[in-house]
Amino acid sequence: MNWEQKSSMLKKKIERIKEIETTLWGNLEKCELCPRKCGVDRYRTTGICGLPARAKISNAVLHFGEEPPISGKTGAGTVFFSGCNMKCVYCQNMGFSQKGIGTEVEVEDLAEIFLILQKHGAKTLNLVTPTPHLPFIISALRIAIENGLNLPIVYNTSGYEDPEILRLLEGVVDIYLSDVRYSDNEASKKYSKTPDYWTVVQKAIVEMFRQVGIFDEEKMKGLIVRILVLPGNVVDYSEIFSFLSSLSTRIPLSIMNQYIPHFDAQKFPEISRKLNQNEYEKILELAERYGFTEGWYQSEEKERVTTRGLKEISEKLQFLRLKTHNSY
């Protein structure tokens, strides 16, 4: 893509953002940003995600451990947002996802963070658990793009998304990086307190695929599906692969073996242990049988440190925390 094409694309993004900003901000008075549809006034209280009417982030770093096209050699500019609309008993980010630990930031601060990540060489802007924060993210993106942001936007999600909200993001999001966690609603209710996950995620994936299609690394656009393999045969992965193959077997799959029984997983004997290599390899073989050949798998090697903090962002977040504390 030459500069003229990129400039035209960025102008269209700004135009699209201006079209949807009012709608997204309107959700804060009666929040229906996710399938929970709590309907709460976030200016007065919080919904299931635990978030008020302000953006809240745990950290923003360069991440070298995402899928290769997302991280590249220079790292994904990753913003970890606090709160979550799922309540996974094995949550690996309990502090900021479940307990809501993080720093509240204004839209202008968020835009500045996006630009700092780009300045430090990020290959993409990787927004992790963005949905409850969409009004703030969208406005921050507008400000950042108007001030030079030109990174591909990665929507890094659990897959528990409302297709109607996703539809608003068409033309803004470049890459959907979505989990597909479960193959039935019973398991999702038991382990993530989402009684309709399988029903919802299928509709969400269809909408994501409609918008961006098969992942194209050259264009940095498309759908990538993550599958975290759980132990104990609690998920029927053939159901997941069957569904995804009905869209395309060219969808890249990121099949992960990094499950660790964190948080409350010990209360459920069937998932209270790590995944073994035999279980993992069976899922890899199953994916191949369904015709999937694109994507990534994880080796048994011990993971190295995959993130690099940035002093400029750390100091900014510290300043914002002090500012918030002193205002009370």
pTM score, whole prediction: 0.95
Tens digit of pLDDT for each residue in 243-263?
A: 999 999 999 999 999 999 988
Question: CB-based contacts of 2: which residues, under 8 Å, 6+ apart?
Answer: none
How far is the C-alpha of 270 from the C-alpha of 257, rounded, in Å? 16
Q: Quote the strand ranges of 32-148, DSSP E.
A: 55-63, 76-81, 103-105, 125-128
Q: Considering only CA atoms, which of 64, 25, 57 is closest in space to residue 42?
A: 25
Residues annotated in a binding site for [4Fe-4S] cluster: 84, 88, 91
Q: What is the longest distance spanned by two Cα atoms in the chain?
A: 59
Show binding-site residues: 84, 88, 91
Name the CATH architecture for the domain at 3-326.
Answer: Alpha-Beta Barrel (3.20)
Over residues 107-161, the pLDDT tens digits come to 999 999 999 999 999 999 999 999 999 999 999 999 999 999 999 999 999 999 9
